Amino acid sequence: RRDQMIRLNSYLFITEENPIDILSTSTLYEDLSSAEIVSALEQTQYIAEFTSVKMYEFYKLIEGPIPNAYLPIIRTRKEKGKAITSIDGTAVINTYKMVGKLNTDETVGLNVLLNKAKGGSETVSLNDKEKISVEIKKLETEINPTLDGNQLEAYLKIEIEGTLADNTTNRNINDQWISKVEEEVSNQTEKYVRLTLNKLQKVIKTDISGIGLETYRKYPKQWKNVQSEWNEIF
């Protein structure tokens, strides 16, 4: 990080493949595959299925009160016989090591928790045949933790504003119908968040949810007593 040639606004990725293979894929628009990856990422930064992390953001995470972080996973896949790059979930970092990964749905939940789901659309089903798509205009998450000794509870308040994008039903659009769509969007958002928290708490046992940071801000004195065992408490 102290190297004078480092660009702290560069994007970071993690891959289980050879990085040379990633950077040797064919390009469609740009001269360099790295430039095309960055261009694609910037165009999808408001889509909740993807997460992006710049170098300075990564350092801020791993040098903060909880040395955990996350990075988008990049890989290659075949498309019409050609190798192209693809973002495939999110890597979870615990004290400088990758300890697990989140799939696409769990990445959506992570972005909701971190207040990074700033756009995109959410498709919900009223039944097997009727689907509704809502374009997200605004999404805000408020985390209010309560720490008693090493017992943690967290209240999450998620507010979504959106507009109707696609409607494949033949029903009349009225207040009752809109309330049903809002209920389904709410249920699906909660499902994504619970999937993410369940994976982080019970499988990966690493807090990148933002709950720890909010606890640290709210209880700075108590934090010193629980910091070393925070992932277990979480």
Mind listing the pLDDT tens digit for each residue in 170-205?
777 888 888 988 999 999 999 999 999 999 999 999
Question: For residue 32, what pLDDT band results from cuts at 50, 70 and 90?
Answer: low
For residue 189 the two structure tokens come to 């958002």
pLDDT tens for each residue of 83-124: 778 888 999 999 889 999 999 999 999 999 999 887 778 888
Amino acid identity, position 223: W
What value does the mean pLDDT take over residues 148-152?
A: 91
Per-residue H/E/C for 133-199: EEEEEEEEEEEEEEEECCEEEEEEEEEEEEEEEEECCCCCCCHHHHHHHHHHHHHHHHHHHHHHHHH
Q: Are 234 and 212 in contact (CB under 8 A)?
A: yes
Q: How many whole angstroms from its chain centre is CA 146?
A: 24
Query: pLDDT-based confidence at 44, cuts 50/70/90?
Result: low
Cβ of 157: how many Cβ atoms within 10 Å? Answer: 9
Structure tokens at 3: 């190297």
